[in-house]
Homo-oligomer: A and B are copies of this chain.
Amino acid sequence: MRRKEIIRPDLNPNVSVDCVIFGFDFQQLKVLLIEREGDFPDEKSRLALPGNLIYDDENLNMAVNRVLKELTGLDNIFLKQIGAFGGVDRISKETDKEWLRSIRAHPDARVITVAYYSLVRISDYLPAASSFAVTANWYNVDEIKDLAFDHYTILKTGLNQLRREISFRPIGFNLMPEKFTLGQLQRMYEAILGRSLDKRNFRRKIMKINILSATDEKEYDVPHKPAQYFKFNEANYKSLVETGFDNFSF
């Protein structure tokens, strides 16, 4: 059986990385999508996750970090693998096939993609810094109904994993600026979880966990009682982890 490896090395599958880049604008959960050139039946199907084939001298981490750097100008951003998708008939949409014929040497080769999700501060993202030859924009996650290839499946899978992960680890802080109010933090959790939370219960739990430090700054110029700003306390979180604590469900 192992001999089959010897007689079938010729046309190996291509491997790409695709990235679900989440952001948060203090209102809704956003995803960064690229708009492809060409004729597409509707806007949805011309939108795709940013991604690219991986180079021969790269490993997976290098490839996904390169794609992110090219697109957002950012290094060292939070990344987690969603998984590998696809195979021989992953690309079934006819317009996608045509598009691939226009840009790839071997358009019929199977492409297996390894997908990641990442969490970025929208304010850090500089569209102008992008070296991507395509336009990229933020879209509300809950308004996306379809995407190119199987990217909608990847988006949904990534969102489900994010929802699960965030109740074990406070990874949502990667979406927030350094200083934030408790109201903003709660809206971030609500945007990711897709449901509203009780303000008092949320505050009691986050303060009890003790991973926030109050600053002496407040909001100003807001047409309501100004809120206090807090920071994420990395050191407190680390010592919390060492106790085995992993309950961040709200």
Contact = CB atoms under 8 A, between A and B. Distances in A.
Number of copies: 2
A49 to B, nearest CB: 14
Nearest to A53: B5
Contacts of A134: 2
Nearest to A246: B164
A90 interface: yes
A150 to B, nearest CB: 11
Contact of A106 (B9, B59, B84, B85): B9
A34 to B, nearest CB: 10
A83 interface: yes
Given A1-B70, A15-B112, A55 B8 contact: yes
Given A15-B12, A104-B5, A105-B9, A62 B87 contact: yes
Q: Bin chain A's interface residue count.
A: 35 or more
Interface string A76-96: 000001011111111000000
A112 B113 CA distance: 11
A198 interface: no
B56 A1 contact: no
Given A1-B70, A90-B59, A104-B5, A13 B15 contact: yes
Contacts of A84: 60, 81, 83-84, 114
B132 A56 contact: no
Contact of A4 (B52, B59, B86, B114): B52
B132 A1 contact: yes
Contact of A57 (B12, B81, B86, B88): B88
Interface of A: 1-2, 4-15, 52-63, 70, 81, 83-90, 103-106, 109-110, 112, 114, 131-134
10 contacts: A2-B103, A5-B52, A9-B14, A10-B56, A12-B13, A12-B14, A13-B54, A59-B88, A81-B83, A112-B114
